Amino acid sequence: MEAKYWANKWFSGTPVLNRTDADVNFGWGEGEIIPGVASNYVSVEWSGFLLPTYSEAYTFVVHVNDGVKVWVGETVVIDSLVDVSGTEVRLTSTAFTLSAGVFTPLRIQYYEATGTAFIALYWQSTSQTLEILPTTSLYYWRSHVPIASTSTTHTVEARFTPRRATALAQGAVDTYKATALTLVWSAPTDTGC
């Protein structure tokens, strides 16, 4: 996942660290989240794509201290950007249907106020036992390959917004009627996935 780290808990300003994280499974304790910079009042945003194995409803689970918000596609499935007073919160999403072999955008926002810091993102479905979302199912568009895998069968150049189709035109003059019209166009060079 592409990760941006800020030295504040509001995802504000220029990130002090940009890097690729293999997964979202961190237990910093009371140590530094951004090495040499900060252990408290830190925010992180991970973005990329997940590739499910099964076409079925998935549930996402986050173990976290402090706040977190998770989007799958354009849907917010977990929304708890609040300070945590205890040592651990376990949040579970409603079921979200995914299609096998289809890249789905994934975005996670996390912040730490003070004290113990950790986050772990899990998923499960009827056929998928509860597990930390594995690196072999996580992609980011600049890599064109899985974040961690020996396989090179899955590649992706994906963006959240596809490019527009070009050369939009009416079909032959005899292809329109009072209730119908035929259109032709060139496919976009980038469909988003």
pLDDT for the residue numbered 159 = 44
**93 touches 78 (CB < 8 A):** yes
- What token pair was written down for 192? 């988003």
Mean pLDDT across the chain:
85
> What domains are defined for the chain?
2-139 (3.90.182.10), 161-193 (no CATH)
Give the global pTM.
0.74
pLDDT for the residue numbered 85 = 75
- How many residues does the structure list for the chain? 193
**What phi, psi does 183 have (nearest 5°)?**
-115, 150
* Averaged pLDDT, 94-114: 94
CA distance 9 to 142: 27
